[in-house]
Structure 1
């Protein structure tokens, strides 16, 4: 170190010592001159509003597998436009309207909902665009990530003014009970990974509810992994967000003893009503915040130290975590006297509690494609000596798993595609001509009693894609999530059926009654207007085994796309319905190409086009993966 630098450092040290001495002197003079109250503590976190969901599609429990555990988020919206939120920050509102306010039907199968005629409020399994459409999803878990490729959902607790029942409609309209707040036989259920499900959510009284779920699974090493408790808040009632009232609260402060000695800690105890109010209590000395504590079971306690000699006005006020849930309130101030000798400064308060742990969103899944090394071509490889054309099927057979007949925009124009989600990971968008749906023995069903003449009446045998997912059967829906945001609906038409029997596409309402969409038995075309951003499922029924080709059209913004969707029903071999390609794929015996000149030009042009299209596909796939 140089001499000048050493002097400079020495000077700074001397100056610092002087400042320290002056500081001590000022502190001593100040303490002798005026009383000093306890140091200011940290105020409570500010209240915030929940995100209210009341007329949108949502997966209340969207399960991810991350870092060897399970994480649950709430997905809001559809497709690429969907956003995610912490379930704790969400409030689901079920409107009190003619669409949701129903009476328990006088049907034995639905006695679990209550006595016939009793009122109930229902968020339906089938989307009603004027109501919230809640479901759950395991699409965030890749196949193979957990043992058995399935997770269990548990309903651990329900708090609210009435009962809660969650059920769906089975293949023949029968109720499939999932969760119940009163029947212990229906508190848990298993769902496979890559599943997206909806159900009917029934509440028997208006008011606020909190449903506590837990999701568990088995790690490949045998450990049980859990999401921990996940609370989903509901408000049943009103017709808009403005109709959600915050619950009034009251706060009281238990008076501490009237006096304390200088330096003696003073304990402050506050009570908040109702006991379930969620938030913090701030403790104050006049207008000065001493600190805050979370409310637990309606109570919060704080110890103040270092109160200055003299009189104090001690108070408490409740700060709700969510202003959507509770109102703030305050307790009247209580007088307190600190006695003793010379006033002294003991500027400390009880340690400020650590803030409530925040949930950390699961990291976005990243897919990387391993590099592919092509084998080197040996110069000694023998050349073919003969050329025999080969014909083989192309495309895919879908016999289980989730897929949609979808319309999407490509180059600004609507096209029909099969959104194939059966393989896990990002879905594959396939031309309908490359897909055959297979309905085997697992798809058979017997038509129940009721208004089912369009299927042949009671007792008839049909092969059916059910509205709810079933093992061994394709789960086929319809999808306009990537049809743009034009605002206008997509008109979906069934224009023709080529097959040995009739075809019907229909939905069940909440009580198992069919709502027919397409029915080839009474003539075609049939049409359905589907709003953009829709993803829905229904029943697809075929009355006889055999091969079927269904002609569809999608019209959006004056442009129509047509397609043919193929089904192999019953014992029909689906591979025989796949498109077939023929290839020669060999050279002449003397090593020369079998075609030259003008005869080869069309193939070269087609090859260049295929290379260009392949480049575009790779770019789009890369962009899709980056987006995902």
Structure 2
């Protein structure tokens, strides 16, 4: 077989569309400016039930993820690269034609169909009737069996369209297409869905699909509208104006006209100051309107902007600076961690609303801009322990960003938690201070742990540090990861499964499993699912040139509705920048070998692993977002586990993100029984002992049981309010645990 470019065929699509619509060839009029798709994953025949009605449209993953369109608004371009001169005898379309292969070629469109949208409606048995094909040559549609055997997909048992496709249960299918001649083709299609329980049927709209086959010249784009950029919110009389007309499509056209009128009720006049797509002028009239037009070579207007209106505000009338400013809301004192809520108040009020807030550590320090305050009249911040004496000031600005008023400073006062300072409060001379903690007043035991910290509520000077006693042990609640309770795993033994589903979420990468068996695009943690490869998958005559020969459990490249159809989907990274994805199967545990591969256009074995070869472990790579299925072979019955991790890279920066490592379970052969379900993990809250320095310590029986320490008269041990701050300082924040997902994604 050889592949070459045949003589170049060119025809402008606009001419085809105009002629076709005039002749009524398209049945339904196509958009004059259709979306042209020349590569990527496309569910051309997308069937859904919406509000009890059956809808046939087109869904694509080229401009986004699962983007729907009316078929008449899309042109499917089969590029010249699809031409094959040397189609083997026995394959539809031989000896030459434009072939869209069964397995995705990232350079070409990959059209298929999806009836998953009928799931749950009851109308699950779907027929897609392609009733007419208008074009310069035959169109063939077929699939290949596991070993490259041509297999019909049409209900009539033929390969050439027109014909009918049937999916007895919701399915997502791709096929091999051959267009024998270059040119423009239109396929007319309609879907019917039947409820197998009642026999009741519903029928969709009739849709027309346009294919442009072969090389085609795109006419230069013609803008349809202009926008005007550069207009200020307002001007002062005499200010210079500089505007730019921007077409909504790139164009070589450069002939513009500019117009002005004194008001929305006035007449348009040609404007001086227009030079190509630029306009310069002077702001003189409040309410003046300006617009631009773009003309073609025949001096015909092809695009026009909406008018923009000039607003002039010279700030006449009351002096905006005639006000004084004060700051309200400051409390007499704060505790560390309190929230200060301050408000700048104008007396009298003005139209001005642009503020800046400034702080300084003391009355002697320099003012500094409070960068987190914003430019509004309110300033809210958390009071730190060291903020005692902090001064805050607000300043009001006019339209020229000149200060017109500033407030008197307000001073923040902070009272520490241990500051009562009376004779019994643990102040410098209190019973809980150094005196009570000395050896003569109880030594290490009485003064250290009891008198200093508990009986008299002191500042800690009589505690373990100065009294020589053992450090106090505080009960702290923390979360820790533990195995989840065993639960019944979801067993999937048929249907469409994106086993390796890769999604960019936030700043991270998620690897999970997505399936269309229990619903549409339902996501699960992989450890919550068992993929059952049924005994029906056993193939006892695998040809010698195919991996797994002579026999094994085969999951074919094309969907068998009776078996699971596992693949992978990286479209979830689209738009994130991290578009180059590697899915590494790092380990396989099981009774036999596992092979993963695909076939070429005419059935030859093709490796999918970056390392070459066909046997897992190995890595598959998708350099751009893609949805892929492959052929799997398990050589022996039994339970297999695959350890998998995904890495996505931004090709522009080289930066990468990596997912968690996930475990996938395949049960091959008889129905899975006595399998240890993979329940994942969960978290539980436990009480542990920590010193103020974050060290482990033993709690008393009373503390473990939820009791109180002797003499506190409170449900909380003294100093517990401050313990979290101490723990953060000593690094005890590391107790927080990253928890593994245990629940399925919605």
Q: Would you call these one fold, judging by a TM-score over 0.5?
A: yes
Partners of 2:535 and 2:668 within 8 A in 1: no
2:490 to 388, 396, 403: 396
Query: Gaps spanning 5+ residues in structure 1: where?
Result: 1-44, 245-389, 584-594, 602-608, 622-628
Partners of 1:178 and 1:187 within 8 A in 2: no
Partners of 1:418 and 1:432 within 8 A in 2: yes
Tell me how far apart the structure 2 counterparts of residues 600 and 128 of structure 1 sit (CA, whole Å). 65
Q: Give the 3 Å change call, closer, same or farther, for CA 565–177 of structure 1 in structure 2.
A: same
| CA deviation after TM superposition for structure 1 residue 170, in Å | 2.0
Q: Tell me the alpha carbon deviations over residues 239-269 of structure 1, each in whole angstroms, 9 at most, x when there is no partner.
A: 664599xxxxxxxxxxxxxxxxxxxxxxxxx
Q: Give the 3 Å change call, closer, same or farther, for CA 81–440 of structure 1 in structure 2.
A: closer
- Counterpart residue number, 1:560: 658
> TM-score with structure 1 length normalisation?
0.57
Of stretches 569-578 and 128-137 in structure 1, the one that deviates more from structure 2 is 569-578
Tell me how far apart the structure 1 counterparts of residues 76 and 115 of structure 2 sit (CA, whole Å). 20
1:129-144 map, 5 Å? 129-144=106-121
- Counterpart residue number, 1:539: 631
Query: Gaps spanning 5+ residues in structure 2: where?
Result: 1-28, 222-483, 650-655, 683-700, 708-735
- Counterpart residue number, 2:446: none
Tell me how far apart the structure 2 counterparts of residues 569 and 474 of structure 1 sit (CA, whole Å). 11
Matched, 1:209 2:303: no
1:15-34 map, 5 Å? none
Partners of 2:98 and 2:180 within 8 A in 1: yes
Q: Give the 3 Å change call, closer, same or farther, for CA 96–223 of structure 1 in structure 2.
A: same
Q: Tell me the alpha carbon deviations over residues 448-501 of structure 1, each in whole angstroms, 9 at most, x when there is no partner.
A: 43621x322xxx221122222212311111011212431541012222211111
1:478-557 map, 5 Å? 478-485=568-575, 486=577, 488-518=579-609, 525-557=617-649
Which of the pair has the greater relative contact order for Cα pairs under 8 Å at 6+ separation? 1
Q: Give the 3 Å change call, closer, same or farther, for CA 569–525 of structure 1 in structure 2.
A: closer
Matched, 1:571 2:670: yes
1:168-567 map, 5 Å? 168-179=143-154, 187-219=163-195, 222-238=199-215, 241-242=218-219, 392-404=486-498, 405-425=500-520, 427-449=521-543, 451-452=545-546, 454-456=547-549, 460-485=550-575, 486=577, 488-518=579-609, 525-557=617-649, 558-561=656-659, 562-567=661-666
Q: Tell me the alpha carbon deviations over residues 394-433 of structure 1, each in whole angstroms, 9 at most, x when there is no partner.
A: 33211112211112234421121011321114x3322222
| CA deviation after TM superposition for structure 1 residue 221, in Å | 5.3
Q: Tell me the alpha carbon deviations over residues 99-134 of structure 1, each in whole angstroms, 9 at most, x when there is no partner.
A: x111354344x2x433xxx21101122221211111
1:105-184 map, 5 Å? 105-108=87-90, 110=91, 112-114=92-94, 118-146=95-123, 149-179=124-154
| CA deviation after TM superposition for structure 1 residue 199, in Å | 0.9
* Larger Rg belongs to: 2
Q: Give the 3 Å change call, closer, same or farther, for CA 522–421 of structure 1 in structure 2.
A: closer
Partners of 1:546 and 1:572 within 8 A in 2: no
Partners of 1:104 and 1:113 within 8 A in 2: no
> TM-score with structure 2 length normalisation?
0.48
Tell me how far apart the structure 2 counterparts of residues 46 and 80 of structure 1 sit (CA, whole Å). 22
How big is the alpha-carbon RMSD for the aligned residues of Structure 1 and Structure 2?
3.9
Q: Give the 3 Å change call, closer, same or farther, for CA 526–598 of structure 1 in structure 2.
A: same
Q: Give the 3 Å change call, closer, same or farther, for CA 87–576 of structure 1 in structure 2.
A: same
| CA deviation after TM superposition for structure 1 residue 617, in Å | 8.0
Helix, strand or coil for the counterpart of 1:113? coil
Helix, strand or coil for the counterpart of 2:608? strand
Tell me how far apart the structure 2 counterparts of residues 520 and 529 of structure 1 sit (CA, whole Å). 12
Partners of 1:178 and 1:186 within 8 A in 2: no
Number of residue pairs matched by the alignment: 400
Tell me how far apart the structure 2 counterparts of residues 158 and 613 of structure 1 sit (CA, whole Å). 53
Q: Tell me the alpha carbon deviations over residues 573-605 of structure 1, each in whole angstroms, 9 at most, x when there is no partner.
A: 25514226999xxxxxxxxxxx9964899xxxx
Matched, 1:55 2:39: yes
Q: Tell me the alpha carbon deviations over residues 341-387 of structure 1, each in whole angstroms, 9 at most, x when there is no partner.
A: xxxxxxxxxxxxxxxxxxxxxxxxxxxxxxxxxxxxxxxxxxxxxxx
Helix, strand or coil for the counterpart of 2:562? coil
Tell me how far apart the structure 1 counterparts of residues 88 and 557 of structure 2 sit (CA, whole Å). 24
Tell me how far apart the structure 2 counterparts of residues 223 and 56 of structure 1 sit (CA, whole Å). 36
| CA deviation after TM superposition for structure 1 residue 515, in Å | 1.2
Q: Tell me the alpha carbon deviations over residues 117-159 of structure 1, each in whole angstroms, 9 at most, x when there is no partner.
A: x21101122221211111111122123421xx21011221111
Tell me how far apart the structure 2 counterparts of residues 143 and 46 of structure 1 sit (CA, whole Å). 32
Tell me how far apart the structure 1 counterparts of residues 590 and 63 of structure 2 sit (CA, whole Å). 33
Helix, strand or coil for the counterpart of 1:468? coil
Partners of 2:44 and 2:58 within 8 A in 1: yes
1:64 to 44, 48, 65: 48
Tell me how far apart the structure 1 counterparts of residues 58 and 536 of structure 2 sit (CA, whole Å). 33
Helix, strand or coil for the counterpart of 1:88? helix
Tell me how far apart the structure 2 counterparts of residues 159 and 196 of structure 1 sit (CA, whole Å). 26
Tell me how far apart the structure 2 counterparts of residues 418 and 512 of structure 1 sit (CA, whole Å). 28
